[in-house]
């Protein structure tokens, strides 16, 4: 039997090499993507660094590459077959599901004030960029101002629906960057962006049929769950989808008719609008609670459930703790907060 070797990549990931297959083919089968062209050892585009272990380079010339200790070698992934466990380094490798990050300049098609402090911004991708730009529902982009300051915003639109990109931006009076971004977007025709970013996303085809989806957002965190919800609905999934949107006051629901419309049109969608400071919303007849409390009150358990949540770190960790107390595993809850504000 041909032996299976281990391929360790960039000190981050590892896969089992398929017996007799090239490094490129093994990576490809495991869902990784890298630059490749001729696939026969001629163009050299697939050059990678072999840091440890031995390979057989089958083309352009059959040779065995046995590394002297600590002496990396350049090999061609398309025709190099591991003959031991190996360690390699690859520039520009994309993990399974990871998309190529790109910078581009797009037109600012509209800036519309949705509430006292939230603006909806529509960005129009250039014709040449439309096909090249891919993102997953739930990912974010960065706006890059001419002085190179950057700010991150969740993409509020679904990748399936339009070539335009929608953002929801809150104006924070004491927030210098938020004021600079809104000032720039309202007075200029174009803006530079970089996308896609973030590991908190959901692909409809990856969703098991028996999974319940909970989308829980506070404030403009709604933008991220809007993208995910619209992606799921565009793909006509029949999974139960529970959408929680929490705010301090009723006036903070800057697009509340939209999720209510989803619920009216799709029997698998339930929407829960929750406010935490009823004293500032005298006409409010809906639910009053903190968002984490509302979610855990509605579920006996979280088996076969995936939660996507967006909001402040305090809210996200409060929700995480409350759901964990009812049996949720950390692998079932997803938020960008876990990456940018990890618990100490
Ligand atoms: S793809 Fe051309 S040498 Fe590997």
Q: Clarify whether residues 248 and 326 are in a common domain.
A: yes
Whether the CA torsion 75, 76, 81, 85 is positive or negative: it is: positive
Q: Clarify whether residues 184 and 212 are in a common domain.
A: no
Q: Clarify whether residues 223 and 269 are in a common domain.
A: yes
Look at residue 70 in the predicted model and tell me its pLDDT.
62
23 CB under 6 A from ligand 1?
A: no
| Statement: residue 235 has pLDDT above 90 | yes
Among 30, 65, 89, the domain boundary falls at: 89
Ligand 1 atom at shortest distance from the alpha carbon of 37? 1
48 CB under 6 A from ligand 1?
A: no
- Residue scoring higher pLDDT (65 or 6): 6
41 CB under 6 A from ligand 1?
A: yes
Q: Cite the DSSP H helix spans in the chain.
A: 23-29, 127-130, 176-187, 222-234, 257-265, 291-298, 313-324, 337-340
Q: Is 301 within a domain?
A: yes
Distance from Cα 49 to the centre of ligand 1, integer Å: 14
CATH number of the domain that 141 lies in? 2.40.30.10
pTM here is 0.83
* Tally of structural domains, the chain: 3
Q: Is 94 within a domain?
A: no
- Our mutation pick for probing the ligand 1 site, out of 46, 48, 60, counting the most ligand atoms within 8 A of Cβ, is 46
Distance from Cα 46 to the centre of ligand 1, integer Å: 5
Mean pLDDT value across residues 110-124: 96
Look at residue 133 in the predicted model and tell me its pLDDT.
74
| Statement: residue 108 has pLDDT above 70 | yes
Q: Is 96 within a domain?
A: no
Structural domain boundaries, residue 25? 6-89
59 CB under 6 A from ligand 1?
A: no
- Our mutation pick for probing the ligand 1 site, out of 25, 36, 58, counting the most ligand atoms within 8 A of Cβ, is 36
Instruction: Band the pLDDT of 57: cuts 50, 70, 90.
Output: confident
Look at residue 184 in the predicted model and tell me its pLDDT.
97
Look at residue 243 in the predicted model and tell me its pLDDT.
98
Among 33, 65, 89, the domain boundary falls at: 89
- Residue 303 φ/ψ, nearest 5 degrees: -65, 145
Q: Is 295 within a domain?
A: yes
Ligand 1 atom at shortest distance from the alpha carbon of 78? 4
| Statement: residue 253 has pLDDT above 70 | yes
| Statement: residue 185 has pLDDT above 90 | yes
Q: Is 162 within a domain?
A: yes
Q: Clarify whether residues 329 and 222 are in a common domain.
A: yes
Q: Clarify whether residues 208 and 185 are in a common domain.
A: no
78 CB under 6 A from ligand 1?
A: yes
Q: Clarify whether residues 224 and 191 are in a common domain.
A: no
| Statement: residue 68 has pLDDT above 60 | no
CATH number of the domain that 232 lies in? 3.40.50.80
Distance from Cα 194 to the centre of ligand 1, integer Å: 29
Query: Residue 326, by phi and psi: left (phi above 0), alpha (psi -120 to 50) or beta?
Result: alpha
CATH number of the domain that 13 lies in? 3.10.20.30
Among 89, 111, 134, the domain boundary falls at: 89
Q: Is 1 within a domain?
A: no
Least confident of 90-104, 134-148, 232-246: 90-104
Q: Clarify whether residues 189 and 231 are in a common domain.
A: no
Q: Clarify whether residues 170 and 123 are in a common domain.
A: yes
- Our mutation pick for probing the ligand 1 site, out of 28, 35, 40, 74, counting the most ligand atoms within 8 A of Cβ, is 40
pLDDT in tens, 149-163: 999 999 999 998 777
DSSP 68: P
Q: Clarify whether residues 208 and 316 are in a common domain.
A: yes
Q: Clarify whether residues 43 and 117 are in a common domain.
A: no
| Statement: residue 64 has pLDDT above 70 | no
- Residue scoring higher pLDDT (32 or 129): 32
Element (H, E) at 32: none
Mean pLDDT value across residues 216-226: 97
Q: Clarify whether residues 144 and 125 are in a common domain.
A: yes
Distance from Cα 91 to the centre of ligand 1, integer Å: 14
How far is 291 from 319, CA to CA, in rounded Å? 8
Look at residue 71 in the predicted model and tell me its pLDDT.
81
Q: Is 16 within a domain?
A: yes
- Our mutation pick for probing the ligand 1 site, out of 23, 27, 33, 78, counting the most ligand atoms within 8 A of Cβ, is 78
Q: Clarify whether residues 208 and 336 are in a common domain.
A: yes
| Statement: residue 107 has pLDDT above 60 | yes
Look at residue 265 in the predicted model and tell me its pLDDT.
97
Instruction: Band the pLDDT of 318: cuts 50, 70, 90.
Output: very high
Let me know the angle formed at the C-alpha of 241 by 238 and 245, rounded to the nearest 5 degrees: 155
76 CB under 6 A from ligand 1?
A: yes
């Amino acid at each position: 039997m041909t032996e299976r070797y281990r391929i360790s990549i960039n000190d981050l990931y590892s896969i089992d090499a398929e017996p007799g297959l090239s490094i490129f083919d093994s990576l490809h089968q495991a869902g990784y993507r890298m630059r490749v062209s001729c696939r026969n050892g001629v163009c050299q585009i697939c050059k990678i660094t072999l840091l440890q272990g031995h390979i057989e380079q089958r083309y352009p010339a059959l040779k065995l590459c046995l590394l002297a200790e600590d002496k990396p070698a350049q090999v061609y992934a398309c025709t190099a077959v591991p003959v031991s466990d190996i360690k390699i380094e690859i520039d520009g490798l994309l993990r399974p599901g990871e998309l190529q990050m790109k910078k581009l300049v797009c037109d600012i098609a509209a800036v519309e004030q949705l509430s006292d402090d939230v603006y909806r911004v529509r960005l129009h991708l250039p014709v040449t960029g439309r096909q090249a730009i891919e993102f997953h529902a739930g990912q974010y982009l960065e706006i890059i101002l001419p002085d190179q300051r950057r700010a991150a915003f969740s993409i509020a639109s679904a990748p399936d629906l339009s070539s335009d990109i929608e953002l929801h931006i809150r104006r924070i009076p004491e927030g210098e960057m938020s004021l600079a971004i809104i000032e720039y977007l309202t007075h200029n025709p174009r803006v530079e962006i970089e996308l896609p970013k973030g590991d908190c996303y959901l692909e409809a085809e990856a969703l098991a049929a028996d999974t319940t989806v909970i989308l829980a957002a506070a404030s403009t965190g709604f933008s991220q769950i809007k993208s995910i919800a619209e992606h799921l609905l565009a793909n006509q999934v029949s999974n139960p989808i529970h959408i929680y949107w929490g705010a301090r006051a009723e006036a903070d629901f800057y697009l509340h008719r939209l999720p209510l419309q989803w619920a009216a049109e799709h029997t698998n969608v339930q929407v829960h609008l929750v406010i935490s400071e009823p004293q500032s919303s005298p006409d409010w007849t809906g639910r009053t609670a903190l968002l984490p409390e509302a979610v855990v009150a509605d579920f006996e358990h979280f088996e076969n459930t995936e939660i996507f949540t967006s909001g402040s770190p305090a809210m996200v960790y409060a929700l995480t703790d409350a759901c964990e107390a009812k049996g949720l595993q950390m692998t079932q809850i997803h938020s960008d907060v876990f990456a940018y504000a990890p618990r100490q």
